């Protein structure tokens, strides 16, 4: 297994937010982490990219506990694309932002060599962002930014990719472009996706979090049953494979059940 999370318990400011979360992701697998706001999805990710030390349990990437690795060693294995509100990369070009992905591979005296420059060019090309290389990062559109950040993650040469709301605030075309890109990387991926419709398209498997606990996990169709969607998300919906072979979420005419005399939730 590329990623195994075992009995993960995390507390934030003394308040427990994750209870015995267990999940895994195999070679080239794309695993989606879904759940309502506040269910602990981003917290799981933070534990995986070694930002948050768990109270109990372990996160293993390629067999090693990330907290037994140094921060740099861990970052050579796991790359993340995050919604980082505090970032403000004034004056950095796109290729400089992507080159940051080489940071864990260099010590204090390390300088970018021809190989690093090539890695940056290749990653940008793979993310269809080669033409943006000389642009200033802060001048990019939302979709362009995310493609560039994905390129930065690929330059890290990760064995595990962690994505937090990769497609948030993006227009619909940019969303599908990004999903295609993620799939084309072939890197094992753990992704938080807010949009269930995108999650069922992208992921091989989903893990459903609810109030800090894993309530279901497995292949999309078997896991996201109508009963579960009603219980966890509080909406009436079905997930099924349509005639064209695509799995889609269909929301009921009255998804909240407010008009019906008997609501979905008892």
Query: Interface residues with another protein (CB under 8 A)?
Result: 46, 49-51, 70-76, 78-80, 82, 84-93, 96-97, 100-101, 103-104, 106, 108-110, 134-136, 138-142, 144-145, 156, 162
In angstroms, give the least distance from the CB of 18 to another protein: 17
With respect to another protein, which residue has the nearer C-beta, 162 or 193? 162
CA distances from 40 to 7, 46, 58, 71, 74 (A): 14, 10, 16, 23, 22
With respect to another protein, which residue has the nearer C-beta, 23 or 153? 153
With respect to another protein, which residue has the nearer C-beta, 93 or 226? 93
With respect to another protein, which residue has the nearer C-beta, 134 or 259? 134
Length in residues, the chain: 266
How large is the angle between the packed helices 114-126 and 142-155, nearest 10 degrees? Answer: 140
In angstroms, give the least distance from the CB of 253 to another protein: 34
With respect to another protein, which residue has the nearer C-beta, 117 or 265? 117
The two structure tokens encoding residue 121: 């060019």
Can you tell me the distance from the alpha carbon of 246 to that of 240, in angstroms, rounded to the nearest whole number?
A: 8
In angstroms, give the least distance from the CB of 12 to another protein: 10
* Ordered DSSP codes for 64-122: EEGGGS-HHHHHHHEEEE---TT---TT-BHHHHHHGGGGGG--TT----HHHHHHHHH
In angstroms, give the least distance from the CB of 169 to another protein: 9
Can you tell me the distance from the alpha carbon of 257 to that of 91, in angstroms, rounded to the nearest whole number?
A: 50
Helix (H) / strand (E) element for 237: namely strand 237-241
In angstroms, give the least distance from the CB of 252 to another protein: 34
With respect to another protein, which residue has the nearer C-beta, 40 or 229? 40
**In sequence order, which residues have a C-beta less than 8 Å from that of residue 228 and are 6 or more positions away?**
208, 215, 216
Can you tell me the distance from the alpha carbon of 74 to that of 64, in angstroms, rounded to the nearest whole number?
A: 9
In angstroms, give the least distance from the CB of 172 to another protein: 16
With respect to another protein, which residue has the nearer C-beta, 68 or 265? 68
Other C-beta atoms lying within 10 Å of the C-beta of residue 116: 17
Q: How large is the greatest C-alpha to C-alpha distance in the chain, in angstroms?
A: 69
In angstroms, give the least distance from the CB of 142 to another protein: 6
In angstroms, give the least distance from the CB of 72 to another protein: 4
With respect to another protein, which residue has the nearer C-beta, 62 or 100? 100
């Amino acid at each position: 297994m590329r990623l195994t999370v075992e009995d993960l318990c995390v507390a934030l400011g003394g308040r427990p937010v994750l209870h015995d979360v267990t999940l895994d992701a195999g070679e080239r697998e794309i695993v989606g982490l879904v759940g309502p706001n506040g269910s602990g999805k981003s917290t799981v990710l933070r534990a995986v990219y070694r930002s948050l030390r768990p109270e109990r349990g372990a996160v293993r990437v390629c067999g090693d506990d990330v907290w037994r690795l140094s921060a740099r060693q861990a970052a050579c294995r796991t790359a993340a694309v995050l919604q980082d509100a505090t970032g403000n990369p004034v004056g950095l070009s796109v290729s400089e932002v992507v080159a940051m992905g080489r940071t864990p591979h260099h010590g204090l005296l390390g300088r970018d060599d021809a190989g690093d420059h090539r890695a940056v060019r290749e990653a940008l090309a793979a993310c269809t962002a080669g033409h943006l290389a000389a642009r200033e990062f802060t001048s990019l559109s939302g979709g362009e930014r995310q493609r560039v950040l994905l390129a930065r993650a690929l330059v890290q040469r990760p064995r595990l990719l962690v994505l937090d709301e990769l497609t948030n605030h993006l227009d619909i075309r940019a969303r599908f472009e990004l999903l295609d890109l993620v799939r084309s990387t072939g890197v094992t991926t753990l992704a938080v996706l807010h949009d269930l419709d995108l999650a069922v398209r992208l992921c091989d498997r989903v893990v459903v979090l609810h109030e800090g606990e894993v309530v279901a996990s497995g292949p999309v169709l078997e896991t996201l049953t109508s009963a579960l969607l009603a219980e966890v998300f509080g909406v009436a919906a079905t997930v099924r494979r349509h005639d064209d072979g695509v799995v889609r979420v269909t929301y009921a005419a009255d998804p909240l059940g407010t008009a019906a005399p008997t609501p979905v939730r008892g």
